[in-house]
Amino acid sequence: MGSTSPMPKVLKLGNIDHAQAAWTALGEVAELVEPAATDRADFIQECKDGKLDGVVAIYRTIGSLAQTGLVDEELLKALPSSLRYIAHCGAGYDQIDVHACSARNPPVRVSNVPTAVDDATADVNMFLILGALRNFNTGMNALRKGQWRGLPAPPLGHDPQGKVLGILGMGGIGRNLKKKAEVFGMKVIYHNRRKLSDELSGGAQYVSFDELLSTSDVVSLNLPLNKNTRHIIGKAEFAKMKDGVVVVNTARGAVMDEAALVDALNRGKVFSAGLDVFENEPYIHPGLLKNQNVILVPHMGTWTSETMLAMEEWAIDNIRMALEVGKLKSPVPEQVDL
């Protein structure tokens, strides 16, 4: 009689809120398990006690940070030696130390969710650009206080038509934003680690980092957070920008020095800002809360049922492909050659 090999174990960290059908279907090829722990200390203990032994792949959400903390060296040391893949359900994977994952023997391969997030995030990005250019926050807040446009009324805003939009980070979201901004009449320039082909950039002009800072009417941050990009925009960079520049961020709060932004806003160097992300979420710098020229969105870039479903399905697809063909569908760029 032939023996049947046990199904690989897949650990779920965080919730599946939309793609239950895909998750259930994954259960036909894998044993789906969840930790009992609800905080990092207990989770590490659970791993050390061998309760998660045999786990080959992890599905994780951004919210699972509360359950396990960062996927750093300490956590990787505790995670079962059987672990080969982590499928992150998000575009930004700054919660995962990819370098430490690559250094494990054998390596832990990591995937994120590109593409599926692009439209929804670029939509919020465009909303923030328009909202910040028009300084809608002031009037909208005044209206809720029964003061119509406010006392005094806010200064007149600015039209996007003819303004230079500088996109810092021309990945999927940056490229999607470029198309949307052009519909509003903006002229798009960009800076990126590498200049893109004309086909990918859609003809947007590639400029140096400093040129982007000094010539943009609106600076949009669309780059991932990592050790090279933390506080890439700070005091010195604001000094290089045009007076009255508009700054928007849908990437990660820590790519910008928030205190320096508050200072630049208070001095009027920055006319207005549109932020979907913050340095220490959910904490918001009081200087941002106080400043009426800032439009604040509590990290809702992908907060739509269609996009959340697509993201969860994409992350689950990564696990399915890893189990079935031994390769992730969308490995993170740092590991494409691993």
- Choose between 92 and 169: whose C-beta lies nearer to ligand GLV: 92
Question: Is there a contact between 35 and 46 (Cβ–Cβ < 8 Å)?
Answer: yes
Q: What's the closest the beta carbon of residue 252 comes to ligand GLV, in angstroms? A: 7
Q: What's the closest the beta carbon of residue 115 comes to ligand GLV, in angstroms? A: 11
- Choose between 72 and 211: whose C-beta lies nearer to ligand GLV: 72
DSSP one-letter code for 61 = E
- Choose between 110 and 189: whose C-beta lies nearer to ligand GLV: 110
Q: What's the closest the beta carbon of residue 87 comes to ligand GLV, in angstroms? A: 13
Q: How far apart are CA 277 and CA 292, in angstroms?
A: 17
Q: How far apart are CA 81 and CA 221, in angstroms?
A: 38
Q: How many CB atoms lie within 10 A of CB 205?
A: 14
Q: What's the closest the beta carbon of residue 312 comes to ligand GLV, in angstroms? A: 11
Q: How many CB atoms lie within 10 A of CB 43?
A: 23
Beta strands 294-296 and 109-111, pairing class: unpaired
- Dihedral of CA atoms 209, 211, 216, 218 in degrees, nearest 10, equals 10
| Burial of 316 from C-beta contacts in 10 A (0-12 / 13-18 / 19+) | buried
- Choose between 136 and 303: whose C-beta lies nearer to ligand GLV: 303
Catalytic residue positions, numbered: 252, 281, 299
Q: How far apart are CA 215 and CA 242, in angstroms?
A: 7
Question: Is there a contact between 299 and 281 (Cβ–Cβ < 8 Å)?
Answer: yes
Question: Is there a contact between 57 and 86 (Cβ–Cβ < 8 Å)?
Answer: yes
- Choose between 58 and 142: whose C-beta lies nearer to ligand GLV: 58
Q: Tell me, what amino acid is at 45?
A: Q
Q: Which residues bind ligand GLV (CB under 6 A)?
A: 90-92, 117, 301-302
Q: Which residue has the tokens 């200390």?
A: 41
Q: What's the closest the beta carbon of residue 202 comes to ligand GLV, in angstroms? A: 23
